Amino acid sequence: MTVAELFVLIWDFVFRPKCTSEAKLHNKTVIITGGNGGIGKETALDLAARGAKVIIGCRDTEKGKKAVEDIRRQVPSSKVIVKRLDLASFSSIRQFAAEILKSEPRIHILINNAGIMACPESKTVDGFEMQMGVNHLGHFLLTNLLLDRIKESAPARVVNVSSAAYFAGNISISDINMERGYSPSGAYSNSKLANILFTRELARRLKGTGVTTYCLHPGSIDTELSKHIKDTFGRIAGFFYYLISKLIFKSPKQGAQTTIYCAVDEKIANESGLYYIGCRSVEPVAKARDDAFAKKFWEFSEYLIESVLHSS
């Protein structure tokens, strides 16, 4: 981790900056994955209050419907709907994207927010390590399926929620499923490093299109993302994590601020491919700025997805 990044992390933890943009989003369409709880729901609430039509993609649609009802209670004029999306299934992702492309003539903001953290070793429907599969490959596929529509809607933005845990990541293309030795925290870090590399390569490919890309660390937040801690690391670790999260972690509303900033702030409209903490850009460590590897990993991600398509 760079000194500058460490400084911004501490600054973000202490001062918990807010997105101050008053941008309105009338006649804009926003898609948020995992918007049924935590920072995703708070992001959906904020953007709906700005006038956007918000589509929440989530696996648990009953919970999603409750989130929509809660948002409508707080913002009666809001336009929020929920659609089923299981990021652990390429088939579900393709179905979700097909429905979106059929119903939405424009997509102005895509927020790849959903994620899982430190889960016990498991595989997606298509046979990939769960955290890499959901946190990276699922969003990689979804973004590419929607990309032409997003480009047609320019100016538009793609926002990827990463994590400062990326700095511990060490992606091995020859062992993408971590079959040589699974580490719950290591798998999470790898997937978050993948988010940053994806954001950078996407920015390169979209240069000149009017579509800009952003990735961010939201901070340490008290959300359901940590629900696997007890199962993975034991009850004692789970108890202390729970205690610490209640005492010092950000609330979901506080944790959503940098996502909102990346989605709406006018001052960064021409920035692309950068990494943000506490509503400001910061340079990540060298491995997250390796553009040659970012390009290679993009091509490898395409290969993995195509291999599933050809085998089915």
Q: List active site positions.
A: 188
Return the number of other C-beta atoms located less than 10 Å from residue 86's C-beta: 20
Concatenated DSSP letters of 31-93? EEETTTSHHHHHHHHHHHHTT-EEEEEES-HHHHHHHHHHHHHHSTT-EEEEEE--TT-HHHH
Nearest to 90 by CA among 60, 146, 148, 134: 134
How far apart (Å, rounded) are the C-alpha atoms in residues 163 and 108? 24
Secondary-structure percent of the chain, ordered helix, strand, coil, rounded to 5: 55, 15, 30
Measured CA to CA, the distance from residue 33 to residue 116 in angstroms comes to: 12
| Residues near 68 by beta carbon (within 8 Å), at least 6 away in sequence | 56, 80, 81, 82
**Quick one: which H or E segment has residue 160?**
strand 156-161
Contacts of residue 279, defined as CB under 8 A and 6 or more positions apart, other chains included, come to: 17, 18, 19, 257, 258, 261, 265
d(CA 29, CA 78): 12
Q: Provide the CB-side half-sphere exposure for 291 (13 A, CA).
A: 8
Q: Name the residue with tokens 């340079």.
A: 283
CA angle 216, 10, 50 (to 5 degrees): 40
Is the Cβ–Cβ distance between 88 and 125 less than 8 Å? yes
Q: How far apart are CA 301 and CA 263, in angstroms?
A: 25
